[in-house]
Structure 1
Amino acid sequence: MLVDDNYIDNFVTRRLLESSKFAENIIVTESPTEAISMLESGVVKPNVIFLDIRMPLMSGFEFLDAFDKLAIDKTGIKVFLLSSSFDPTDIRRSSDNKYITQFIHKPLTHKILEELP
């Protein structure tokens, strides 16, 4: 699942994920609230979520707060923050969040994908 409000970033990241055969099914949404609804309803159960931080209406960290409150099985879901932010506060908050596997600076590359845990 790719959650980012930027259409161009989503297009580029999706193409990279497809060309690397990273996933069989890639769900893309520009709305973190829509992503929460899809997760809550069980429409999707992703293995990986690539999440932007700075989005209108709901930030990536607010998404994670809502994600935490979902009554779903979160086992096996890896969350990667995919952001252009170099704000030390964002990086520190990401390391303190139990759901975030890794903070990745945009753009995502084949090399980064190959090295993901």
Structure 2
Amino acid sequence: MAASYNTCLLIDDNYLDNFITKKLLENSNFAKTVVTSESPAYAIRLLASGSVKPDVIFLDIRMPNMSGFEFLDAYDKLDIEKEGIKIYLLSSSFDPTDMKKSSNNKYVTHFIHKPLTHKILEDLP
């Protein structure tokens, strides 16, 4: 089965969450390449430099130094082609404010509660 996407960028400050989610994405043949970043600021630099051109981004919300929403603000200012990039917020947050902010953000495709599973991947919009 061919991979659904070419490149997936996974942004989460938790190394273990990144490791497990990356393995799930690889085992599901979700994308040809899965790039991880424990730093949203570093992910912004990767995107700005063009060294990573993702089709899909999985983004945690609650991270130190730069939250997922702050990442989205910085992402908005990037001079890159954003058309066709799907951003999924992947969070353990059940805060209604986070869910509302995600639904009001033009870049967010969908809010997903951790952990990511094969079933969730199959049902992604």
Q: Which TM bucket (shorter chain)?
A: over 0.9
Task: Show CA shifts across 1:36-62 (max 9, x none).
Answer: 000000001100000000000000000
Structure 2 CA distance for aligned equivalents of residues 91 and 57 of structure 1: 21
Query: TM-score, normalised on structure 2?
Result: 0.93
Q: Name the SS for the 2:25 alignment partner.
A: helix
For 1:46 and 1:16, locate their aligned partners in 2 and report how far apart those are by CA, in whole Å.
17
What percent identity do the matched residue pairs reach? 70
Q: What secondary structure sits across from 2:100 in the alignment?
A: helix
* Aligned match of 1:92: 100
Structure 1 residue ranges without an equivalent (≥5)? none
Determine if the alignment matches structure 1 residue 78 to structure 2 residue 86: yes
Runs (4+) of structure 1 exceeding 4 A deviation are none
In structure 2, list runs of 5 or more residues that go unmatched. 1-8
Match of 2:120 in 1: 112
Superposed CA RMSD in Å reads 0.4
1:32 paired residue number? 40
Q: What letter matches 1:50 in structure 2? A: F
| Paired residue total | 117
What SS class does the counterpart of residue 27 from structure 1 fall into? strand
Q: Return the offset for 1:99.
A: 0.2
**1:11-50 map, 5 Å:** 11-50=19-58
Distance (Å, rounded) in 2 between the aligned partners of 1:40 and 1:16: 27
TM-score (norm 1): 0.99
